[in-house]
Structure 1
């Protein structure tokens, strides 16, 4: 597992954001089992308007025809795999509560990337007498 060190500071419900990352990483682990060289990357792209966070794997991938269904409650594409089909529905709900968006890009046999944004602006670091302080962008 590779984790990007350049994550921006953001105002979020930390516990819920940890749930999002845990669910996405657990899915990546589940669907990279059996790979000779499994890779999972957790990172962020610094797009023009806002950061885009992602969890990427080189697992089995998701057929395009199923990609729209995976965020549904109790939706499982592989009935034999462990899990209840609640994880991605929960992830989507948490992201929506934070006024963000989540989407998936995947190629069957090559891997999957889940991207998400958070609706609040990133936090800018300011210095004051040698102390680091944080404030919302635009404040």
Structure 2
């Protein structure tokens, strides 16, 4: 439901970029819908914004249910832990900046290269934290 709203909101951008957005089977998450819409809108928007110009953009949203015993973070919440991955075939980024990109007003590219304010991923981190979750990125 949340990702359906996000796809609808981003419909023109998806069409304009000829992107393929694949949404796998996702769990029901009991959380603030507006915040989750904001989180996934920011993530999908970034995936489409920072795309390679010579290939068709592809974004995948999938769920993964890790074994809690193998987690690298402490977790005292619901035993039905779920990891949701948003992956794309975009331009990527240097892993050195993987923590910095979640700070407010952080941009890895100049304003003339890509539009934006540098707050989208900071909002995503806040939403994840508000719901007892974590967010990370890899280049």
Map of 2:119 onto structure 1: 86
Give SS of 1:70's match: helix
**TM-score, structure 2 as length reference:** 0.72
Which residue of 29, 33, 40 maps to 1:21?
40
Provide TM-score, normalisation by structure 1.
0.72
The residue matched to 2:86 in structure 1 has which SS? strand
Structure 1 runs of 4+ with >3 Å offset: none
1:1-139 to 2 correspondences below 5 Å: 1-4=21-24, 6-49=25-68, 50-79=81-110, 80=112, 81-106=114-139
Greater helix fraction, Structure 1 or Structure 2? 2
In structure 1, C-alpha distance between the alignment counterparts of 2:104 and 2:98, rounded to whole Å:
14
Structure index of larger Rg: 1
Which structure carries more strand by proportion? Answer: 1
Inter-partner Cα distance in structure 1 for 2:54 and 2:129 = 32
The CA deviation at 1:105 is: 1.5
After superposition, the C-alpha distances for 1:27-78 in whole angstroms (9 at most, x for unaligned) are 0000114131321101111222411001100111110111111000000110
CA drift of 1:104 comes to 0.7
2:7 maps to none
Give ranges in structure 1 of 5+ residues lacking alignment. Answer: 107-139
Q: Which residue of 2 aligns with 1:128?
A: none
**Structure-1 separation of matches of 2:67 and 2:55:** 36
* Aligned-residue RMSD, C-alpha: 1.1
